[in-house]
Amino acid sequence: MKPISRFKCYSIILPAISVPLSLLGISLKRPRFYFVAATEWRTGPSTSSINYLDIVNDFTTWCHQRDLPKAMKALDSMQKHRLWADSVTYAELIKCCISHGAIRQGKRVHQHVFSNGYEPKTFLINTLLNMYVKFNLLDEAQFLFDQMLDRNVVSWTTMIAAYSNSELNYKALEMLIMMLRDGVRPNMYTYSSVLRACEGFSNLKQLHCCIIKVGLEFDVFVRSALIDIYSRWGDLQAALYVFNEMVTSDLVVWNSIIGGFAQNSDGDEAMNLFIRMKRSGFWADQSTLTSVLRACTSLALLELGRQVHVHVIKFNRDLVLNNALLDMYCKCGSLKDANYTFTLMAVKDVISWSTMIIGFAQNGYSRKALDLFEAMKSSGTKPNYITILGVLFACSHAGWVKDGQYYFESMKMLFGIDPGREHYGCMVDLLGRAGKLEEAVKLIQQMKCEPDAVTWRTLLGACRVHRNMDLAEYAAKKVLSLDRNDAGTYILLSNIYANTQRWEDVENLRRLMRDVGIKKEPGCSWIEINKQVHAFILGDKSHPQVNAIYGELNQIIWRLKEEGYVPDTNFVLQDLEGEQMENSLAYHSEKLAIVFGMMSLPKGKTVRIRKNLRICGDCHVFAKLLAKMENRSIVIRDPIRYHHFQDGACSCGDYW
């Protein structure tokens, strides 16, 4: 038998064996492993030989250049010849699959790195885990995780973050417990991820204690996550305590605390924190300005919002910041600025369109709202739940019953959106305002979801307008059965009794409120003058210029009476007589704020008022006549909508 040469012997074995170049004494700047074919070890050239180095080298090049089609073609050749590259190269290919959304190709890479007995490193398996998480294939990620023999902190954190981001909170918390039992110590990323999965203060307090125990409470990511979660659960004092525990030297933490207060509608404290941040030497970024704009929105402070806009101009604005700016102008009642901002936006998403549609609707421009809705559909942007809500709101506040019914009945068929409580509430409001109270009740009874207190309260408000006592009492009982401490319902029912001169029922209801411990929220209006906010309540005499304000108000009322103004005593909610009734109307908070604004602002400057309660009919007439007499624009924002008074008319068309 002819003996086999040493080189030919290698030619039989080596194709199945990988040989790193580092073992051959060759070093490379970029980490690559080349798998050398046995044919190159033979003596003499061979025309039929395959250059395995070129195959691996080409594959590595295409992976690092993120050329997915060529890399996958090279991968097929690698698989055919049973060759493998290094973990870094595969990681680059997996990242390329993620960026291209290439699920099928990603699974193909997964199959390759586990084929023919090849054992990928933990680093590479973690990259595959991350790929499945990014593709939202949590079952595949969990299956791969379960097969791992060596799980490190990155493996566990990837899965915990995945379940937390998908709002599978119980799974995220369960994974943390298993991680601890497995002897793997969580790091700052683990805790910052699992904190988002807390569903109550019990879990949150336990996690906070664990964080303190391992000494991670001062880590930037963990502090930020703690502030975020306490803010989300409404415990702003705990969030502020975490923030104040040490001097903050990171903008992320500042953004978390400012955002927490802004999202909880505590605009005052958010602005105070922003001022503290600036004084500490930090420069605001896009995230900071987004939160500050939300604070301005909750306070309805237009001038302050315009000052923030000056800072926004310095940035290359992203879509989120543009939408926050748009929302601020809409909520502050400056439709001119809002429309200008919307027109300049190069990129608009469904939030941009919906914000502008709702802005037009709330400010009394229902026709513009529906025209913009048609433009949105023409642009190819698909409406969402909130968009349709804005459209129905526009129809409701314009009294367009047929239009509202069309959009409501076709929203599922045209846009695939199931009506929710808010949509039903808009329809109940639309029918109720139009006097179709029986149809409104019928619609409530047909709701697919259980009507809540807001739905019944909407019907109660319609009963007040049309003075339907029997249905009002029925709706009020429904509200109180769901929320016995709802002060608004007691007040609405009391107003209905007062409007029908049922003073004994008013007194009985007020006595019941006192017994239950429910207090009527006093009417309050505020106005921004020279960067200061001035607040007024009914009959307020605490303002430094109170005598001048009352004197000016009395003169204005006398002049308006000469123009035909007659105080509407139907809005007096006490059993008073004659002049007493008129006096109780004269000093409503919005009247005091309007007069102070006219005294303090230059002639021609718009007077902008924010009010915590719905504007009464008498103040509505007062504002219309005063705007005409003084040739002045007056804007009043109440909890429901905006009223733009000019030339003796209101943008609501006296329909609110």
Q: What tens digit of pLDDT does each residue of 313-339 get?
A: 887 778 999 999 999 999 988 999 999
DSSP 197-259: G--SHHHHHHHHHHHHHTT-TTSHHHHHHHHHHHHHTT-HHHHHHHHHTS----HHHHHHHHH
Per-residue confidence band for 571, with pLDDT thresholds at 50, 70 and 90: low
Phi–psi pair at 612, nearest 5 degrees: -85, -20
Of 134 and 40, the structure prediction assigns the larger pLDDT to: 134
pLDDT surpasses 90 at 506: no
Mean pLDDT of 94-104: 93
* Tokens linked to 202: 């019990």
- In our burial notation (b when 16+ CB lie closer than 10 A, e otherwise), range 268-291 reads ebbbebbeebeeeebebebbbbbb
Contacts for 144 with CB less than 8 Å, ≥ 6 apart:
110, 125, 128, 129, 132
Per-residue confidence band for 50, with pLDDT thresholds at 50, 70 and 90: low
CA angle 11, 14, 16 (to 5 degrees): 125
Q: Is residue 406 part of a domain?
A: no
* Tokens linked to 122: 């933990």
Domain boundary among 119, 140, 160: 119
Q: Is residue 51 part of a domain?
A: yes
Mean pLDDT of 236-252: 88
Which of 326, 383, 391, 372 shows the shortest CA–CA distance to 350? 383
Q: Is residue 540 part of a domain?
A: yes
Is the backbone of residue 646 left (phi > 0), alpha (psi -120 to 50) or beta? beta
Same domain, 504 and 545: no
Same domain, 551 and 448: no
Domain boundary among 119, 153, 184: 119
Helix count (H) and strand count (E) of the chain?
A: 33, 6
Q: Is residue 372 part of a domain?
A: no
Same domain, 596 and 497: no
The amino acid at 67: D
Domain boundary among 490, 516, 542: 516
How far apart are the C-alpha atoms of 619 and 567, rounded to whole Å?
9
Q: Tens digit of pLDDT for each residue in 449-503?
A: 889 999 999 998 888 888 888 898 899 989 988 888 888 788 778 877 877 778 8
Other C-beta atoms lying within 10 Å of the C-beta of residue 652: 21
Q: Tens digit of pLDDT for each residue in 397-414?
A: 888 999 999 999 999 999
Same domain, 1 and 114: yes
Per-residue confidence band for 540, with pLDDT thresholds at 50, 70 and 90: confident
Q: Is residue 106 part of a domain?
A: yes
Is the backbone of residue 102 left (phi > 0), alpha (psi -120 to 50) or beta? beta
Same domain, 572 and 646: yes
To the nearest 10°, report the CA torsion of 600, 601, 602, 605. Answer: -160
On whether the CB atoms of residues 623 and 590 are closer than 8 A, the answer is yes
Contacts for 67 with CB less than 8 Å, ≥ 6 apart:
none
**According to the model, what pLDDT value does residue 142 have?**
96
End-to-end CA distance of the chain: 106
Q: Is residue 587 part of a domain?
A: yes
Pairing state of beta strands 634-637 and 607-611?
A: parallel
Q: Tens digit of pLDDT for each residue in 636-645?
A: 998 888 899 9
User: Of all helices (H) and strands (E), which one includes residue 537?
Assistant: strand 532-537
Q: What is the CATH number of the domain that holds 493?
A: 1.25.40.10
DSSP 601-649: SPTTPPEEEEESSPPPHHHHHHHHHHHHHHT--EEEE-SS-EEEEETTE
* Tokens linked to 610: 């924010």
Of 202 and 187, the structure prediction assigns the larger pLDDT to: 187
On whether the CB atoms of residues 397 and 368 are closer than 8 A, the answer is no
Q: How many domains does the chain have?
A: 3
**According to the model, what pLDDT value does residue 612 have?**
87
Q: Where are the beta strands (DSSP E) in 477-529?
A: 524-529
Mean pLDDT of 518-535: 85
How far apart are the C-alpha atoms of 299 and 302, rounded to whole Å?
9
How far apart are the C-alpha atoms of 180 and 195, rounded to whole Å?
15
Q: Tens digit of pLDDT for each residue in 51-80?
A: 788 888 989 999 999 999 999 999 999 888
How far apart are the C-alpha atoms of 153 and 182, rounded to whole Å?
11
Mean of the per-residue pLDDT values for the chain?
85
Pairing state of beta strands 607-611 and 642-646?
A: unpaired
3-state secondary structure of 517: coil
Same domain, 506 and 548: no
On whether the CB atoms of residues 52 and 37 are closer than 8 A, the answer is yes
Is the backbone of residue 578 left (phi > 0), alpha (psi -120 to 50) or beta? left
How far apart are the C-alpha atoms of 39 and 637, rounded to whole Å?
84
Same domain, 498 and 468: yes
* pLDDT > 70 in the chain, percent: 89
Q: Is residue 216 part of a domain?
A: no
Same domain, 3 and 115: yes
**According to the model, what pLDDT value does residue 508 have?**
86
Same domain, 621 and 598: yes
pLDDT surpasses 70 at 569: no
3-state secondary structure of 449: coil
Same domain, 582 and 505: no
**According to the model, what pLDDT value does residue 583 have?**
54
Least confident of 60-74, 294-308, 555-569: 555-569
**According to the model, what pLDDT value does residue 464 have?**
80
**According to the model, what pLDDT value does residue 578 have?**
39
pLDDT surpasses 90 at 163: yes
Same domain, 441 and 532: no
Domain with 450 in it: 425-516
User: Of all helices (H) and strands (E), which one includes residue 177?
Assistant: helix 169-181
The highest-confidence range among 38-42, 247-251, 617-621, by mean pLDDT, is: 617-621
Q: Is residue 501 part of a domain?
A: yes
Radius of gyration of the chain from its Cα atoms, rounded to whole angstroms: 34
pLDDT surpasses 70 at 356: yes
Same domain, 567 and 628: yes
How far apart are the C-alpha atoms of 20 and 352, rounded to whole Å?
55
Contacts for 426 with CB less than 8 Å, ≥ 6 apart:
389, 392, 393, 395, 396, 404, 408
